[in-house]
Structure 1
Amino acid sequence: MNDDHSGGPERDRMALDIGDRRGILDRIRHRRKFRIAALLATSAGGLVLVWVHWIGLIVAGALVGLVSPDLRAAVVSAGGFGLLVLAVFILPRGAIAPRVVSMDPIIYITVGGALLLPVLGSLVRGVESSA
């Protein structure tokens, strides 16, 4: 039985994998084309998650935040995602959209959640950058 608890080659491989992931994430964050593609992909995936459950707003905000170059950009991108969610919610309503928007106070919860929950999720960028 091996008493060495250092992890050996397996641990080195895991550290290499984490380093590779950080390298890929850094390339996405600092190259405009990659960042735009990643934001589009995470936004599309986020919309699917939001369709399934409202927790998807937080998860989508985190995904959008992780591909942003800094915390400020993460928060702004998450706010933009929230606006996208609101647009996707209101636009298909067509002629009844004004009546949906005038439904007090439930519309406040809808708008507040759509704008604030992705921003909450995007704060993971601040945690990730300080680690």
Structure 2
Amino acid sequence: MSEALTEYFQALERLKNGRPTRIAKGARINNDNVALEADRKKGSIKKSRPVFKDLIEAIDASAAEQSSPEKQMTRRLEKTRGEAQGYREKWEQALCRELSLLQEVYALKKELASLRGVDILPLRPKKPC
């Protein structure tokens, strides 16, 4: 197998794995995108050339797999889970900041009370019964 053909197959694998280096992530798998990912000109993979027969078959199979509804739903679910995880992390960070600020307020009230010579004021006032 020639070096150029090897580069085309490597580009196809990167596209299938969702890790392209030269084109946009999530791009459809077709002859032109495989050529561009392999750092070749658009249209360089031609059906009329017998050397590309196996490559074109692999591209067509990958394109059919990429467009299957199960794959699309799986990708959408993974994306949604990632977003949910990101929001959870932001929420936990906000809680940590809140707790840190409450501790700082308590420490400052304690210091102020010791300077004034009075008891520490509670963070939350007691509710009347």
Name the larger-Rg structure: 2
Structure having the larger proportion of residues in helix: 1
Is TM (by shorter chain) over 0.5?
no
TM-score scaled to structure 1, two decimals? 0.28
